[in-house]
A and B are shown apart, each in its own frame.
Chain A
Amino acid sequence: MDNLLVYSLIGLGFGVFLFFRAFGWLKSKRLIENIPTSKIRSIAMGLVEVYGKVVPFRGEVLKSPFTVRDCVYSRFSIEEYRSSGKHSRWVTVRKGVDFIPFYIEDETGSVLVDPKGAGVEILRDNEFKSGFMKDPPEDVKRFLRRSGMDFEGFFSVNKTMRYRESFIEPGDMLYVMGTAGDNPFVEEGTVEGGAQDIMIGRGKERFFYISDRPEKRVLGLLRWKVIGGFFGGGLLILLCLWLVLFYSHFWSFAKF
């Protein structure tokens, strides 16, 4: 019964968080709806929205952590399945993000984007698993060796683990909404102006969002988040509150 109270209180807290987070998602949704997509050639300073193809800046690329593919942004997570008593769950044992500035190119030109501080929503590219009698792929093994990690536990029995990576590759189509400001890689007066003078980053507007989905799908995703946040959060609050009240009555009745 004590567990029920703890779970109800945690649920109540999560419900309140979800409910108020929905306001943030609603605000972001309306902001994206309100700002038209700019053509890169005529981009102006301030909050802008662009959509185009990823092109490496000065030809520089990173390598994705497991599959070693060319990319400009990557993130990974390594999770281990752990059990204690009746409970078992996935625990993140390592995660990381790596990125470099890159260009976004549309039919009119290209503009530099520095993804530092951006909320990046990209689809997962790869997921690998290892477990009893199943080794991870060679690429993942190489990464684990480099990072000083082991996929084997006691008596060299494989741990149950999963390895996930997402990345942005050159040529990917990307939706970017951020603040256009001065390009720090260009000296004043060395270019004719236009988008070459500009870099999109996290500016004073504080809204910086990158996604590999087109605008319509970004909005669709946000719409579901808003609905889920308000209704899911609201229902969770009511359910958990009812459980807390029920528990407090039960407790006072038992004491009596």
Chain B
Amino acid sequence: MDTGIIVLVVAILIAICFAGYLIIIFNGLIRLKNNIEKSWANIDVLLKQRTDEIPRLVECVKGYMKHEREVLQRVTEARTAFLNARTMREKAGSSEMIGGALKTLFAVAENYPNLKANENFMQLQKRISGLESEIADRREFFNDSVNNYNIRRESFPDLLIAGIMRYGRRDLFEVSEADRATVNVSF
């Protein structure tokens, strides 16, 4: 009789452990997935803020950089591409274009002392540089979130639940070699 009760209690404890663990895994995977969406939304906000600064920047520099039509055109085209982007991948690609175009613009601006001394330009440059740094931090955070998610969904026993929930692998927000490289401008 006693042995029967003890065995029953052991079985109940194991069942509770099993059920509780499954619930924690399930909720954990949902949280991880939501973390990715949220961290992407947090990047998106900054990308939009940076894009919103571009018309002001172009307006500010075009008087000084009359002979740099190509540079300004690249910035404007990149902005248009971002505004037309719908998916996460398209937005990531166009945001890299904007980053590259802005880098070139600021590098070219070095050659225009009057522009560099313009207070409005200095403010915009500071604001955009600040946004770039925040975007870089949040991209790192996003990639960490994606990495945590991918590791979890490929680890046992989480992969069993992830399979049932049809949670697929997610892509990192990678920076291209071109964007990582220093901008060289020849005059």
Contacts and interface: CB of A to CB of B under 8 A. Distances in A.
A23 B2 contact: no
Interface stretch (A36-44, A79-87, A122-130): A36-44
B24 A27 contact: yes
A4 interface: no
Contacts of A27: 24, 27
Contact of A46 (B38, B135, B152): B38
B138 A36 contact: no
B130 to A, nearest CB: 8
A179 B104 CA distance: 39
Nearest to A249: B2
Given A35-B35, A237-B13, A238-B10, A30 B24 contact: yes
B148 interface: yes
B179 interface: no
Interface in B16-60: 16-17, 20-21, 24, 27-28, 31-32, 35, 38-39, 42
Interface range, B side = 20 to 34
B137 A39 contact: yes
Nearest to B148: A34
B95 interface: no
Contacts of B94: none
Given A238-B10, A241-B5, A34 B137 contact: no
Contacts of A108: 133, 137
Given A27-B24, A42-B141, A44-B138, A242 B35 contact: no
B134 A41 contact: yes
A23 B20 contact: yes
B1 to A, nearest CB: 8
A117 interface: no
B9 interface: yes
B16 to A, nearest CB: 8
Interface in A1-36: 19, 23, 26-27, 30-31, 33-36
B9 A238 contact: yes
Interface residues of A, number: 28
Interface in B76-94: none
B117 interface: no
B145 interface: yes
Contact of A36 (B21, B24, B133, B145): B145
Contacts of A33: 148
Interface in A155-205: 194
Nearest to B137: A42
B171 interface: no
A36 B148 contact: yes
Nearest to B12: A237
A234 B20 CA distance: 14
B6 A30 contact: no
Contact of A44 (B31, B42, B140): B42
Interface string A189-233: 000001000000000000000000000000000000000001000
A22 to B, nearest CB: 9
A134 to B, nearest CB: 47
Interface in A33-70: 33-39, 41-42, 44, 46
A34 B2 contact: no
B42 A23 contact: no
Interface string A225-255: 0000010001001100110011001000000
The 4 A-B pairs at the shortest CB distance, nearest first, are namely A36-B144, A42-B137, A42-B134, A44-B42
Given A19-B13, A35-B35, A241-B6, 15 more contacts: A26-B21, A26-B24, A27-B24, A27-B27, A31-B28, A34-B28, A36-B148, A41-B137, A42-B134, A44-B39, A44-B42, A44-B138, A237-B9, A238-B9, A245-B5
18 contacts: A19-B13, A33-B148, A34-B28, A34-B32, A34-B152, A38-B137, A38-B141, A39-B141, A41-B134, A42-B135, A44-B38, A44-B39, A238-B6, A238-B9, A238-B10, A245-B2, A245-B5, A246-B2
